[in-house]
Amino acid sequence: MREFLTLILMLLLLTSNKTYLLFLYQAKLALDSLEVPVGCVIVEGGSVIAAGKNWTNEPRNATRHAEMEALDVLKEQWQRTGFSAAEVAEKFSAYSLCVACEPCLMCAAALSIIGT
């Protein structure tokens, strides 16, 4: 499995838009940490502004999915800037999210709530 994911990552990195493929790198990092290989990046204007990978086994916390990890990175950034809830929703609705698989119900709900 690891060799297959590495091969796919190498092939996809040859494409023109590498920014959006960084979620695969996050998935590989998760796999290397003996986690389910799911990675997520949040992109604004062609630049990755947050990234996350599955991190459930080590902390024994089933809620630490890649999307939640990436959202926590954004949350820390937003807290430093002092954005209001309306500003957060406006900014978040302009971002692109790239994830290695379809978000689960928990992550989909969190993403939906932030964008409203």
User: What positions carry a catalytic annotation?
Assistant: 67
Q: What whole-number distance in Å separates Cα of residue 12 and Cα of residue 15? A: 6
- How many residues are present in the chain? 116
Assess contact for 114 and 71: CB atoms under 8 A. yes
Measured at the alpha carbon of residue 77, what is the angle toward residues 73 and 82, in degrees to the nearest 5?
Answer: 145
